[in-house]
Amino acid sequence: CYIKNMIDNLLSSLRAAGYRVTPIRHLLLRVLEHATQPLSAQQLAERLREQRSSVAKTTIYRELEFFRERGIVDELDIFDGTK
């Protein structure tokens, strides 16, 4: 699958650049891989809970910021204040 290869290549690139690919980063990228629409941090937390992985929302925000700073994800401001 193209997306799976893209995620695997992304993880390899992060490692090659000296970044740690933590289990949380890996898991978040896998959840995003299967998303059919943009997800908020709250929605990501819910998806992780569905997979029996409990991650604090502050961790999710921190990891999303890490991804955003590296051009992996984009931040969208929704009219109701959701990001």
Task: Give the tens place of pLDDT for each residue, 42-73.
Answer: 899 899 888 888 888 899 999 999 999 998 98
Name the percent of the chain in helix, strand, coil, to the closest 5.
60, 0, 40
Residue 20 has which token pair? 């740690």
Q: Global pTM?
A: 0.81
pLDDT of residue 65: 95
At 18, is the pLDDT very low, low, confident or very high (cuts 50, 70, 90)? very high
pLDDT of residue 28: 92
How far is it between the farthest Cα atoms of the chain? 38
